[in-house]
Chains A and B, each alone.
Chain A
């Protein structure tokens, strides 16, 4: 079975493993953090797999161009993989792009709500989540209109059904919509990887489970002191992950950070994070940083097995983290915040 699977995926897998070995190492990061200017950064990056991706950019460089160019490379690599993928990997990769779609949709709705310029918004959308009729989202003024006019023909439609009862588009509702969409996506994606089975299921259910837990915790932490009721909050928790069901229920009852800590106490990895967060040396790393580090660990684990789709997802996430790190370093250099330059979650 796996041998048959192998013939479909091995080209892509080889490609991805190649990309993975091109990820920046800690030595490169060390060199990057020593850069004085963005020009230095460019020079350092030109010695890596990024090559002369900035060669045709006129000076002066800005950190946003560096980020944009790095992201461009990531997107073109991903698109190449997508074009070379066959079932089930191609559907798998489609699933991978849905969160970007969700983000784009939310970005457009929020932007329209605040009367931002449509073209600016479109530029800020993630290229992996673009779909043809997306710009028309700006016309919609209510949730049902959003669904009826544009989203009904997108792959997000089934996820959107749960949000139809929200009445008008305000900040809170948009956040609820976003999290509901994510929840449905996670559950759906999880179902899909269960169907693929094999190592893909093993690895992906770990990764997706963590993603679900992270979302649940983040939602809870962010919901303190807002109008979000506990019942509504409970609905946003994905029905997977290590926290589900007991942990999620406990999370649903939490009123403050101590409550969250109690809820996740059963899971060693998360408990450790919260311990570090509240310990004496707190302030070093935020909760997000801990999550990123844990995620990178899970993703790296995907490369220890063969003949499965999870490598692509893992590589994409690692690469995204890398782009985030480069952007962070570039920002720190540009704004002369050298003392904070080391605060990124190293990928390798």
Chain B
């Protein structure tokens, strides 16, 4: 009975698949749906464009580009997309005929949309021009009117000022230009004064003024006014602020220069008549033309809109088909093609448990496409490292990804992701222990878990997604925190007196300090009397510190034991003898001894004995500094036992350092002396060639000939250096990692103190008041307390505790056994290619 387990990654078989050419596409598509085969690239030395199906990929990419183009157009027209139908995602990949039809349709719509856009653009351009002309006509009208108002005075200046020096100064030009504007003193043409009117983007205005001034040496009169509304640019379709200007200047040459300059700077010039009546008729004509164009524009937009709405209905479904199609061809590009037998050959990996499913899929695909030939799957032997595959479900997935983030486990190695399901929330809870806060966390996670179906598709941003992904971690973290909170007897920094304190205090005493008398043991967790006691903090500190060391050493020892499981599984006796046993002895003789002492010290009732309770920290230090002398004995014969333990630890270091490299060297020397140098390499050659021979009859021997990793020559120096590093690291880490577990105590303390401060600063102040003021203050204080509790204590502190728990797993535990040199199993599956839709 095959079963799946998280303890080790699954067995993955190397497989070889033969697809008859006519069913290859549909079979690959079916494999994409079940998603349990990882294909290897058999054409790694062929460049991307020389592969067999690159034409098909390109064709599909072209359709995808067209669909993207539609999407952009739809977005611009602000038409809502039809939400993606998630059932369609699991639908069969499209047939070739469907893709052909889709390609035709996409081409048709692209051409249609392009022509619509083009005509819309020309219409829009004309429309904008007319609108601008209307503005120009209106605004120049005011320019001319202003001139009328000053007519008298201007005429005088003109009359007195004729002659050759008329244009000598700026003022004269302006005057004469203005003068020429009113009809009865002669038209502009008579005065040889012309004008240019037009519209220019406001940003260019300053540059234009500067250039004109410099080129004409100031001989111009310019008037401008801003258009209030921004005018849409017909090409980019973005609003642009524009100004109307009118320039009066003298002489045809100069006028043509003005025209050229203003046009070169992006201005549009409009012909405006100087006569006001003609301007009126022009204006009326422009207005009527604007009306016409608007209705045509409206129609064009309407047509485009209806086309786009139709596209918006189907776009997502099409996109899904196209993406699937592209994935199929890209996968088929990894296969090698056998021309003689007209079939495609693929190699890859498949979990052994899924082989049946793959077999079934191959058969079904052949039946489905009415083909006489079905695809064939063979298992092949290989020397390559198979990928690591852990079958996860929605519960285990997040825990597994915590460990995968550190590194992918080596194939068939003990998977720390399984252990993390328990240890991760537990170490978190030791730091976060508070019944109330844990309950909040539990509730939040419970909401996510219960509504996971709806929330799965919702998109609320990255942070929410992360919380949602880790919802089961949060759930367990919440439950475990409630448990540790119960043990710490801590709910929002207060204690619960559930079973009645087992400490009594003398009644009616006037003394400043009261000493309690213990009358029993509180049934579970900390006695509530400690909360208000003066030495309460001292007591909990001592307790939590020792607890964290105890739990830390247990965690490390357990992790070290996992390495034994690994060594046994991989049948490496040398590693057991040379690495595991000395390491375990070293750890036990110092640190496990320490926690045994801690537990023993707790179990002794020191008030009943004459001796002082010894300081365990000093005991450990003096065990090294002055072995054989014990100032404050914990138990009889302590000095002798400590000397023995110390000696064991000291022996372990050279044992671990030297044994493995020396044994390896002896073996290498022995092999060399016997003349077997290179025998291992030859053996490997033999193995691969037999497997190649098996298949040679089928004519594909070349394909499975793989790179052979010959055994490298034994290098004593390298092995030695590795072992030195390992030994130093292990011994030092035993010390530093034990100290590192003190973070459990530190964070738990900080969390507890912070919530105490929060309570004292907000709610406890409000309890003193009464009456209406009391109600209001209590309300406000409660709101503040709740908000701060959730945001600071639950969210922020929770995140920090989670990170510390993460570190304890990655550094302290993983370093003891986790090799993490594997590569992940990445099956070909459609769900990956349509994820981001």
Which residues of A are interface residues toward B (Cβ below 8 A)? 31, 34-36, 39-40, 43-44, 47, 55-56, 58-59, 118, 132-133, 135-136, 138-139, 145, 148-150, 152-153
Contact = CB atoms under 8 A, between A and B. Distances in A.
B214 A132 contact: no
B54 interface: yes
A43 B68 contact: no
B803 interface: no
Contact of B207 (A47, A55, A133): A133
B207 A34 contact: no
Given A56-B69, A135-B264, A136-B261, A149 B47 contact: no
Given A36-B49, A43-B58, A55-B68, 19 more contacts: A39-B49, A39-B58, A43-B48, A47-B48, A55-B61, A55-B65, A56-B65, A58-B110, A59-B62, A132-B207, A133-B211, A133-B265, A135-B265, A136-B264, A138-B260, A149-B214, A149-B215, A150-B211, A153-B210
Nearest to B110: A58
B54 A149 contact: no
B699 interface: no
Nearest to A108: B264
Contacts of B68: 55-56
5 contacts: A133-B207, A133-B210, A133-B211, A150-B211, A153-B210
B97 to A, nearest CB: 23
Interface centre among B49, B68, B257, by most chain A C-beta atoms within 10 angstroms, is B49
Contacts of B215: 136, 139, 145, 148-149
B214 A152 contact: yes
A43 B266 contact: no
B264 A132 contact: no
B211 A149 contact: yes
A44 B47 CA distance: 8
Nearest to B213: A149
B interface SS class: helix
B47 A31 contact: yes
Interface in B201-243: 204, 207, 210-211, 214-215
Contact of A136 (B48, B65, B211): B211
Contacts of A135: 264-266
Contacts of A44: 47-49
A138 B264 contact: yes
Nearest to A118: B264
A220 to B, nearest CB: 36
Contacts of A59: 62
Interchain residue pairs A-B with the least CB separation, the first 4? A135-B264, A40-B49, A149-B215, A132-B207
B47 A139 contact: no
B492 to A, nearest CB: 46
A34 B46 CA distance: 11
Contacts of B260: 138-139
A34 B261 contact: no
A152 B110 CA distance: 49
A148 B61 CA distance: 54
A118 B264 CA distance: 7
Interface string B236-274: 000000000000000000000100110011100000000
Contacts of A149: 211, 214-215
Contacts of B54: 43
Contacts of B62: 59
Contacts of A31: 47
A152 B68 CA distance: 47
Nearest to A34: B47
A148 B207 CA distance: 14
B227 to A, nearest CB: 21
Interface centre among A34, A133, A152, A153, by most chain B C-beta atoms within 10 angstroms, is A133
Interface centre among B47, B54, B210, B266, by most chain A C-beta atoms within 10 angstroms, is B47
A43 B207 CA distance: 44
B257 A139 contact: yes
Interface string B11-47: 0000000000000000000000000000000000001
Contacts of B47: 31, 34, 44
Contact of B204 (A35, A40, A118, A132): A132
Contacts of A118: 264
B214 A148 contact: yes
Contacts of B210: 133, 153
A136 B262 CA distance: 8
Contacts of A153: 210
Nearest to A153: B210
A43 B61 CA distance: 11
A135 B265 CA distance: 6
Contacts of B207: 132-133
Contacts of A47: 48
Contacts of B204: 132
A136 B257 CA distance: 10
B833 to A, nearest CB: 15
Interface centre among B204, B261, B264, by most chain A C-beta atoms within 10 angstroms, is B264
Nearest to B55: A39
A43 B261 contact: no
A47 B68 CA distance: 21
A163 to B, nearest CB: 18
A148 B215 CA distance: 8
B50 to A, nearest CB: 8
Nearest to A31: B47
Nearest to B214: A149
A58 B110 CA distance: 10
Contacts of A132: 204, 207
A28 to B, nearest CB: 10
Contacts of A152: 214
Contacts of B257: 139
Given A47-B48, A133-B207, A139 B264 contact: yes
A226 to B, nearest CB: 32
Nearest to A35: B49
A58 B65 CA distance: 8
A120 to B, nearest CB: 13
A139 B261 contact: yes
Contacts of B265: 133, 135-136
Nearest to B211: A136
Contacts of A39: 49, 58
Contacts of B69: 56
Contacts of B261: 136, 139
B152 to A, nearest CB: 38
A148 B212 CA distance: 11
B786 to A, nearest CB: 43
B215 to A, nearest CB: 5
A58 B61 CA distance: 11
A118 B265 CA distance: 11
B43 to A, nearest CB: 14
A139 B265 CA distance: 11
B329 to A, nearest CB: 13
B355 to A, nearest CB: 34
Contacts of A43: 48-49, 54, 58
A132 B214 CA distance: 15
Nearest to B62: A59
B122 to A, nearest CB: 17
Interface string B183-211: 00000000000000000000010010011
A239 B407 CA distance: 60
